[in-house]
Amino acid sequence: MADVPSPQNTPFGALQGLRMIELGQLIAGPFCGQLMADHGAEVIKVEPPEVGDAMRNWGRNKPVWWPVVARNKKSITLNLRLEEGQEILKDLIKDADFLLENFRAGTMEKWGLGYEDLAKINPRLIMIRVTGFGQTGPYAKRAGYGVIGEAMGGMRNLAGDPSTPPSRVGLSIGDSLAATYATVGALMALHRREITGKGQVIDSSIYESVLAMMESTVPEYTEAGFIRERTGSILPEVAPSNVYPATDGDVLIAANQDSVFKRLTEAMGRPELADDARYNSHMARGKHQKELDDLIADWTKGFSAAELLTMMEKAGVPAGKIYKAPDMLTDPHYQAREAIVPVAHPDFPNLKMQNTFPKLSETPGEIRWAGPGLGAHNDEVYGSLLGKTADDLAALKAKGVI
């Protein structure tokens, strides 16, 4: 385990005192590093010299994704394709708790950096491996992006309206799920290491991370011969739970539980609907889903969104608007919980981003800095951890190693 930083240097985070070396790029691996760094782990991000992680250039209109996904991390440059670079990585591994990588399966072994090699250097090392298809199986060495994993895992087929081809969610959800499961696995392995003193490998694939979220879709087929398909804005036979029109937009109302539906009918001034044979049970409402949605929509379209939300809150019926970024920034609940916070950045004076999550009562996470410049921590990491001098670093840079 890395030396525990003093409270003055790191006054936060349940993972302080742990060190991660992060390899790879884009999202599937680095989001795991972001989660760990958010909660106090020292995450040393290894990037190729000169070019860095491709995420440095991502973002709509401005490259503002890097400040989020690399926040709280230290950036060093290192050419892992060179033998000298591989040896330097091994030196960094000696005192690391985690190594995170999301290269195509077999890449680390090709460089002599497979788990068996690294475990000889540091048997306590936990190696976190995030790929499209996992480390084993006939697809293991295929290139795998999040969209492919989302499709193979079953999510893409369920996204969108049945009248259109399968949609994507609009986010890199497969990558983020794989990174989240990688984080969960790493913390499980950390607990096990406290018992055995030994590390292990976390094998998190994108397609299986998506599959893990697929609820009962598989047994629905094996036991009942039913295959779920796209259903648009509803879950079939779960009613009422839909998007309904207001005079100035749309509002989500979810009142599919018997007692909640009764409260909705009272708010509508139609309490008799709760006793109507077509709507008086979950099964009955499911069978008459469309006519019930049409009935509610005829009522909601006479009110503004604000009026509907006020009535639903008073009646104890779950409801809400469909938020975009401007709504999030002005919402008082977001503000009260500091769900979005400003972060200082030399190039983006108005930079705001989602705060650390989940919230821990005793050791909360914190955003200490936005994603750093390429190689910003070379002197610190190579100097303090490996004892290299300025002349050493200059020589390594001249050879293209860092």
Q: Are 146 and 206 in contact (CB under 8 A)?
A: yes
Return the DSSP state at 343: -
What's the token pair of residue 45? 């991000």
Q: Which of left, alpha, beta for 52 (phi over 0: left; psi -120 to 50: alpha)? A: left
Q: Are 376 and 91 in contact (CB under 8 A)?
A: no
Which residue is catalytic, options 38, 97, 175, 293? 175
Residue 175 annotated as catalytic: yes
d(CA 402, CA 394): 9
| 352-354 and 98-101 beta bridge pairing | unpaired
Residue with tokens 């975009």: 324
CA atoms within 13 A on the CB side of 280: 5
d(CA 171, CA 147): 10
Using only the alpha carbons of the chain, give its radius of gyration. Answer: 25
d(CA 372, CA 25): 15
d(CA 162, CA 231): 6
d(CA 294, CA 210): 33
First to last CA, the chain: 25
What's the token pair of residue 272? 């008799």
Q: Give how far Cα 169 sits from Cα of 11, 66, 110, 161, Å.
A: 37, 21, 35, 12
| Phi, then psi, of 398 in degrees rounded to 5 | -60, -30
What's the token pair of residue 43? 């995450």
Nearest to 26 by CA among 71, 1, 58: 58
Nearest to 53 by CA among 390, 381, 373, 341: 373
User: Which residue numbers are catalytic?
Assistant: 175
